[in-house]
Amino acid sequence: MTRKFTASVAVALVVGVIGFDLAASPPNPYVAPPMLALGSGQVAAGGFCGALPD
């Protein structure tokens, strides 16, 4: 067995997470934020490992 197998499993994992999530929480492109946060005038609100929840 070579790395072809393990690398394929990793890609399948990504596809699986996205596929599972698409079924549960489909995105809505019509409520997407501006392309860039810089200059958008909107407060940054993404999840980050350094941030405690509000």
CB of 8 to other proteins, least distance (A): 8
DSSP state, residue 25 = S
Asked if 12 interacts with other proteins (CB under 8 A), we say: no
Q: Rounded to whole angstroms, how far apart are CA atoms 2 and 22?
A: 31
Q: Rounded to whole angstroms, how far apart are CA atoms 37 and 32?
A: 12
Asked if 21 interacts with other proteins (CB under 8 A), we say: yes
Q: Rounded to whole angstroms, how far apart are CA atoms 31 and 34?
A: 9
CB of 12 to other proteins, least distance (A): 11
Residues forming the site for other proteins (CB under 8 A): 1-7, 9-11, 13-14, 17-18, 20-22, 24-29, 32-54
